[in-house]
Amino acid sequence: MSLLAVRDVSKRFGGVKALAGVSFAVDKGDLLGIIGPNGAGKTTLLNCISGLARPDAGDILWEEASISRVAPYRIARMGIGRTFQIVRPFPSMTVRENTAMGALFGRPRGRLQPVAAMREADEVLDLVGLAEKRHYPVLRLTVPDRKRLEVARALAMRPRLLLLDEVMAGLNQVEVEQALAMVRRVRDSGVTIVLIEHVMKVIVGVCNRVLVLNFGKTLVEGPPAEVLNDPRVIEAYLGERYARGQKTNGEHQPTANA
């Protein structure tokens, strides 16, 4: 039984078809990467899974039960957490207090007491590498650390599936390596992950499968090595520069054309 199953999901915004019959499954322990050009429907897909958007057609199943018409907060309490491209922490709170908000409001069996939520926050901040900064005001954090905080708040809800939306965007090579290590720690803690990413080093470094979207449709799905060498993917997304780099260096270029 798949943890998550997306079945022939379509979504329109006016005359624009953001998703057109997308199907895939996520099993427990998977780390699925979703890639594709800007406007391919990647974030819309995560919005449909997390309940922020409702599919116009198709269905989304969580442990074989439909969640296509379930409210976002209920989906979160079922065990699906997510981050957003635009990080919006509570500016008047500390890093620890921000993280505790996930523990306070995201649990399926009622709200934790504040002291317990703070303990949960400490555990999660250690996992994402922010333990030493837990008492910092949020405004003191760098961009990479704010992205870590976004992951921490989602993890404080104790999700079984975590949806990550471009948590590496805007990071330099050192910061990407640090973020990669964080994602590996989260995976090794037992959390299944679906991530959207443009940094190919991340896709190659952590994903066991890759789904490529183009114009709202599935272009190809499979292991990273096969997908990133597929001529259709190179033409639609990665570009000839990426392909030339592959042949010249035998290594994956860090980012794709998007």
The predicted-structure confidence for 89-147, as pLDDT tens digits, reads as follows 999 999 999 999 988 877 666 667 889 999 999 999 999 999 999 999 999 999 899 99
User: CATH topology for 33-54+71-249?
Assistant: Rossmann fold (3.40.50)
pLDDT confidence band for 154 (50 / 70 / 90): very high
Average pLDDT over residues 46-63: 97
Q: What global pTM score does this model have? A: 0.90
For residue 251, pLDDT beyond 60: no
How does pLDDT run across 15-29, given as a tens digit for each residue?
Answer: 899 999 999 999 999
Per residue in 187-200, pLDDT (tens digit) is: 999 999 999 998 89
Domain spans in the chain, listed from the N-terminal domain onward = 33-54+71-249
Q: Which of 101, 97, 84, 171 is nearest to 136 (CA)?
A: 97
Q: How far is 141 from 148, CA to CA, in rounded Å?
A: 10
pLDDT band at 245 (very low <50, low <70, confident <90, very high): low
What pLDDT score does 256 carry? 65
